[in-house]
Structure 1
Amino acid sequence: MTATDYDLFVIGGGSGGVRAARIAAGYGAKVGIAESDRFGGTCVIRGCVPKKLLVYASRYGDDFEDARGFGWSVGDTSFDWASLIANKDREIARLERIYEGNLKARGVTTIAARARLEGPGVVALSDATRIKARTILIATGGRPVRYGDIPGAAHIVTSNEIFELPRLPKRIVVCGGGYIAVEFAAIFAGLGVETTLMHRGAKILRGFDEELRDGLMEALAGRGITLRMDTVLEGVAECPGGFNLALRGGETVETELVLSAIGREPATHDLGLETAGVRTGPRGEIIVDAYSETSAPGIYAVGDVTDRINLTPVAIREGHAFADTVFGKKPVKVDHSLVPTAVFTTPELATVGLSEEAARAQGFEIDLYKSRFRPMRNTLSGREERTFMKLVVDAATDRVLGCHVIGPDAAEMVQMAAIALHLGARKADFDATVALHPSAAEEFVTMRDKWVAP
């Protein structure tokens, strides 16, 4: 066994770990990083990036259909799943090379191995190398929660495997009600797959504004997705052409593929956390302070492994703040409030700030401003789908507390609105802004009338 000393050793080559390693190296630290799979982590390899590419693919059907209303005659519109996956794989490989190349350009040592803690300041690699480091950062991210207690669970695929399907199924059942479930339901429906979204809860997207939850469910159903809420899967059995799903209550459903998207959990298994004195929570999440330090001095953690806000940009921000704090000697706490987020269904949903329900729960007296309209593109295409926008405003101070959108380019609009909310914008500031016409976003600065409950 050999030993190598580092100022910083990072366990996990995802977005948060890579950012931390690069910034720390920029401050002059000797940095090593170990990744047992592929550099880039979940987001780049089997998450946000390939998912968004599939989202784009799934929307071309709408484009071809809508084009007729604008005078275009559309010819062959056949779709080839294998071509999409091959092109996706080439792009992911390119991004992976960039991630690893950027690390090496900063002088970071990259190691293809699994790493685990052996004690304070000591990391053991799967290739029998022992690492000594003054500071250790755990950035191993999360992993899909699997059905483990029902018959036939081995037949169910997760978001890890869904990107590698050899062919497009004709029928799919997607289990879950969060981001991943609703996004993949929309993707497959857009690609012409007979799609069922099955969720044990009464509504999708727990924690989002209730009007957005209801509005997206209505829109997904309008696109032909079968929504089965309050439904529990109890078993999966093979049958000719696919699988027979046993549901609680005795009903059965046949499908060609079952995707489990029932949640994710921190990837802390077999990291040796107990050995190093790192405290974890009930879901296995690593408990950290405001500067991402664990209960073991000199050991830090960022990203989904801490189960704070499980979004890639948050992991990147935490990794950067860690490096600034520890190696740049500039203490930085990450502000986890007002984090914008999007659900890349079709139609798209995006939000920043407080929902109506959260604002009321926090004791605010609020004013609501709402707009529901048919986007201009839909007038000639004949599509009936509508955009919905909502502002939640503190009645006492006029400060905008929340901004919510369902419709095309929702994410693009909310990203910019997030800047205004971070600056403490009031509704009067929105009103004083000149509208950009014709656009959907102009509705945010032209909504003048407070919503009054009927």
Structure 2
Amino acid sequence: MSESGGTFDLVILGAGSGGYAAAIRASELGKSVALIEKDKLGGTCLHYGCIPTKALLHAGEVADNARESETFGVQASLQGIDMQGVHKYKDKVVGGLHRGLTGLLKSHGITIVEGEGRLTGTDEVTVNGAVYKGANILLATGSKSRTLPGLELDGEKIISSYEALRLDRVPESVIVLGGGVIGVEFASVWRSFGAEVTIVEALPHLVPVEEESSSKLLERAFRKRGIKYELGTPYESVKTTDSGVSLTLKGGKTVEAELLLVAVGRGPVSEGLGFEEAGIRMERGFVQVDENLHTGVGNIYAVGDLIPTLQLAHVGFAEGIFVAEHIAGLNPVNIDYDGVPRVTYSEPEVASVGITSKIAAERGIETTEFVYNLGGNGKSQILQTQGAVKVIAAKDGPVLGVHMVGSRVGELITESQLIYNWEALPSEVAQLIHPHPTQSEALGEAHMALAGKPLHVHD
């Protein structure tokens, strides 16, 4: 660890996904790097987001498997949820990955600086009085949980995802305010653990940025699981009671529960860090950048949740690598954000890449589409999951989007990403042989149907 300052080819403020990816790639390219972090290496994704939430979701899957074991002819029973044991498992996963990342960064000769940094010039960051000069500066300070005006988090009855990850019990009932990725995933976990869950979403559908047909399939699956939801109705007010919380919706309907999770999105961490003073353009707290992720000021770049792109760890990785290669003069290809794979890890999962039918229509693109029901897929029936694969292609042109719902469909998104990013025609994908029985066959079946040669498809 360094506290003495110095001069580097690249000084990075924030060691989350985007920051540490840039540090590693820049080091590989022979650049000297200082990586500044006030909390823990790995940032939100490793410690408070992607990894711990997926550990909870897997614990929930194990609970569901035990609860439903008789469906598969296995005699087992669910005795209960030991949250202390769940957290021990979750923390072991996070701790192992954190130690591995720390060792990896050190092995690359990256100077790691502990402390809260502040941009104090167009080529310097100051940490605890020590100045770190950089030929290039990368801002990667990430994001934090948002709330709504007049809705104050108390950390006990009205909580954010931070407290939800550390909850020492399974609540009897929960209201989840927000039906996006974070809200849907926690709703799925708590329902698997046995809680009564109600999601409140102001927009007409859950996971509203996804293909509408995917949202409807998720809603149907959640209804079957006993997860309640109020859609298209904004929250109006909330009050705490002796037994928990009471939330009033616009129109007067009230919903009561033991806990309220506020999951209305995440906002950038940018206030008080010297960005505006350096002349960096900001909008709603987000740093504005060009197609090369440059701020327009000096040699200052920004990546990750700090800029108004997709708030996904793998986007941060890609942006960090892009900046490192850009400053090294490698002329990397600009990121196509439509081609970024997206997964909601609920039960069932929602996965997608490319554009939706609505976006295609807005862009004036004539399309042809096919929906393949997982009811015709052998492996999906073995897994006892329902859902579908929807493929959207330009008329007489390449695949524009793939949208899926079902258990474990997130594992299919990489092939879908290749199909989209290589601008494959449905007829080209239809030639590929998918192993049987796998869920990947559903992708093949959908493309075969679009190519005019459907196989396991009912009229």
TM-score range, shorter chain: over 0.9
Partner residue in 2 for 1:387: 387
Partner residue in 2 for 1:444: 443
Partner residue in 2 for 1:74: 76
Partner residue in 2 for 1:408: 407
Partner residue in 2 for 1:93: 95
Deviation at 1:3, TM superposition (A): 4.6
Offset from partner CA, 1:189-242 (integer Å, 9 cap, x none): 111111010111221222211111111111111110011113333333332232
One-letter code aligned to 1:411? G
Alpha carbons 1:64, 1:77 under 8 Å: kept: no
Partner residue in 2 for 1:234: 236
In structure 1, the residue corresponding to 2:255 is in which secondary structure?
A: strand
In structure 2, the residue corresponding to 1:321 is in which secondary structure?
A: helix
Deviation at 1:177, TM superposition (A): 1.9
Instruction: Find 2:26's aligned residue among 24, 27, 47.
Output: 24
Q: How does 1:333-412 map to 2 (within 5 A)?
A: 333-374=334-375, 376=378, 385-397=385-397, 399-412=398-411
Q: 1:9 to 1:177 in 2, by over 3 A?
A: same
Deviation at 1:65, TM superposition (A): 4.0
In structure 2, the residue corresponding to 1:297 is in which secondary structure?
A: coil
Alpha carbons 1:277, 1:296 under 8 Å: kept: yes
Alpha carbons 1:151, 1:234 under 8 Å: kept: no
One-letter code aligned to 2:349? E
Q: How does 1:267-346 map to 2 (within 5 A)?
A: 267-281=269-283, 283-327=284-328, 329-346=330-347
Aligned length: 447
Distance, in Å, in 2 between the alignment partners of 1:67 and 1:107 is 50
In structure 2, the residue corresponding to 1:9 is in which secondary structure?
A: strand
Deviation at 1:400, TM superposition (A): 1.3
In structure 2, the residue corresponding to 1:274 is in which secondary structure?
A: coil
Partner residue in 1 for 2:248: 246
Partner residue in 2 for 1:434: 433
Deviation at 1:378, TM superposition (A): 7.0
Partner residue in 2 for 1:197: 199
Alpha carbons 1:291, 1:332 under 8 Å: kept: no
One-letter code aligned to 1:386? Q
In structure 2, the residue corresponding to 1:29 is in which secondary structure?
A: coil
Deviation at 1:95, TM superposition (A): 1.5
Deviation at 1:109, TM superposition (A): 1.2
One-letter code aligned to 1:419? L
Distance, in Å, in 1 between the alignment partners of 2:153 and 2:180 is 23
Distance, in Å, in 2 between the alignment partners of 1:406 and 1:379 is 14
Partner residue in 2 for 1:425: 424
Distance, in Å, in 2 between the alignment partners of 1:146 and 1:419 is 37
TM-score, scaled to structure 2: 0.91
Distance, in Å, in 2 between the alignment partners of 1:55 and 1:158 is 17
Distance, in Å, in 2 between the alignment partners of 1:253 and 1:89 is 33
Q: 1:170 to 1:208 in 2, by over 3 A?
A: same
In structure 2, the residue corresponding to 1:221 is in which secondary structure?
A: helix
Distance, in Å, in 1 between the alignment partners of 2:380 and 2:33 is 53
Deviation at 1:247, TM superposition (A): 3.1
In the alignment, structure 1 segments of 5+ residues that lack a partner are none
In structure 2, the residue corresponding to 1:161 is in which secondary structure?
A: helix
Q: 1:152 to 1:435 in 2, by over 3 A?
A: closer
Residue 45, structure 1, aligned to residue 50, structure 2: no
Distance, in Å, in 2 between the alignment partners of 1:90 and 1:18 is 21
One-letter code aligned to 1:112? E
Partner residue in 1 for 2:455: none
Residue 15, structure 1, aligned to residue 17, structure 2: yes
In structure 2, the residue corresponding to 1:337 is in which secondary structure?
A: helix
In structure 1, the residue corresponding to 2:165 is in which secondary structure?
A: helix
In structure 2, the residue corresponding to 1:45 is in which secondary structure?
A: helix
CA RMSD of aligned residues (A): 2.2
Deviation at 1:76, TM superposition (A): 4.8
Deviation at 1:31, TM superposition (A): 1.3
Offset from partner CA, 1:21-54 (integer Å, 9 cap, x none): 1221222222111111111011111111111111
Offset from partner CA, 1:311-334 (integer Å, 9 cap, x none): 111111111111111135444422
Offset from partner CA, 1:407-434 (integer Å, 9 cap, x none): 1221111211211221121111122222
Deviation at 1:2, TM superposition (A): 6.1
One-letter code aligned to 2:416? A
Offset from partner CA, 1:361-386 (integer Å, 9 cap, x none): 222221111122435467578x5x52
Give the stretch that moved more between structures: 71-80 or 421-430.
71-80
Percent identity over paired residues = 30
In the alignment, structure 2 segments of 5+ residues that lack a partner are 453-458
In structure 1, the residue corresponding to 2:261 is in which secondary structure?
A: strand
Distance, in Å, in 2 between the alignment partners of 1:60 and 1:2 is 49
Distance, in Å, in 1 between the alignment partners of 2:152 and 2:28 is 51
Partner residue in 1 for 2:38: 36
In structure 2, the residue corresponding to 1:276 is in which secondary structure?
A: coil
Alpha carbons 1:152, 1:236 under 8 Å: kept: no
